Amino acid sequence: MLEGPCRGFVCENYGQKFELPGRGPIGANCMANPRDFKAPVAAYEDREVPSRLVVKWCGQFHETRIGQSPLDVVAWHGNYAPYKYDLRSYCPVGAILFDHPDPSIFTVLTAPSGVPGTANIDFVLFRERWMVAENTFRPPWYHKNIMSELMGNIYGQYDAKPQGFVPGGMSLHNMMLPHGPDRQAFEGASNAELGPEKLDNTMSFMFETRFPQHLTEFAGKEAPLQDDYIDCWDSLEKKFDGTPGVK
In the annotated binding site for Fe cation, the residues are 143, 149, 179
Tell me the C-alpha distance between 10 and 117, whole Å. 24
User: DSSP for 129-158?
Assistant: EEE--BSS--S--SB--SSEEEEEEEEE-B
Which of 184, 93, 90 lies closest to 133 in space, CA to CA? 93
Residue among 62, 77, 100, 173 flagged as catalytic: 100
Say whether 214 is catalytic.
no
Tell me the C-alpha distance between 141 and 43, whole Å. 48
Asked whether the beta carbons of 146 and 118 are under 8 A apart, the reply is yes
Tell me the C-alpha distance between 140 and 227, whole Å. 23
Q: Which residues contact 136 (CB under 8 A, 6 or more apart)?
A: 95, 98, 99, 100, 194
In the annotated binding site for homogentisate, the residues are 158, 179
* Residues with a known catalytic role: 100
